[in-house]
Amino acid sequence: MAEAERIIGTPDTPDAAGDGQERPGSEQDQPPERPRGRRRIAVLFAVAAFAYLLDLVSKMIVVAELEHQEPIEIVGDWLRFVAIRNAGAAFGFGEAFTVIFTVIAAAVIVVIARLARKLYSLPWAIALGMLLGGALGNLTDRIFRAPGVFQGAVVDFIAPKHFAVFNLADSAIVCGGILIVILSFRGLDPDGTVHKD
């Protein structure tokens, strides 16, 4: 009887059937999880590139076709396209602090690049991508446009009635900022964790 128990004894190895094959459902059968962080970083930079290129192309068209021309009415006098040069921040604020705003924009880009290494949330990737694309768009103007490096005036052209004139980079920054506020209120962190206060 003892000999039979020794032969039939309960196996505790993965190939319990004795055929050397691993059974389905074992940990070794599960494929390794793909790193989500890389995909989120790819989304961040794709959104940033799209926002940046859209802003860049729109400004090139405005400078070539609209500057020194009469405004174009899009929706009566409620929405017009008019080319202006803005030395201040978004929506024309603080024209006396162009260099400071340039430094702030550069700092925002560095912070986003550093934060991207710990990014595991798709909504955060989209929000930061919009911020990055918008900051790069206006920073490009400040570096390469007149009157000089780091003092260049940003090209604005979207002019709603009773509102400041702005551009697509400003829009991307504002939309990204609003999305970040919403995500923060919902308790979603950039690393994908959710917390409740």
Closest C-alpha to 109, from 169, 181, 182? 169
Closest C-alpha to 188, from 97, 127, 114? 127
For residues 127 and 58, what is the distance between their CA atoms, to the nearest angstrom? 21
189 is catalytic: no
170 is catalytic: yes
Is the distance from CB of 173 to CB of 135 less than 8 angstroms? yes
From 170, 189, 191, 197, active-site residue: 170
From 12, 29, 141, 156, active-site residue: 156
Q: Residue 78, SS3? A: coil
For residues 182 and 175, what is the distance between their CA atoms, to the nearest angstrom? 11
Q: Could you give the residue numbers annotated as active site?
A: 156, 170
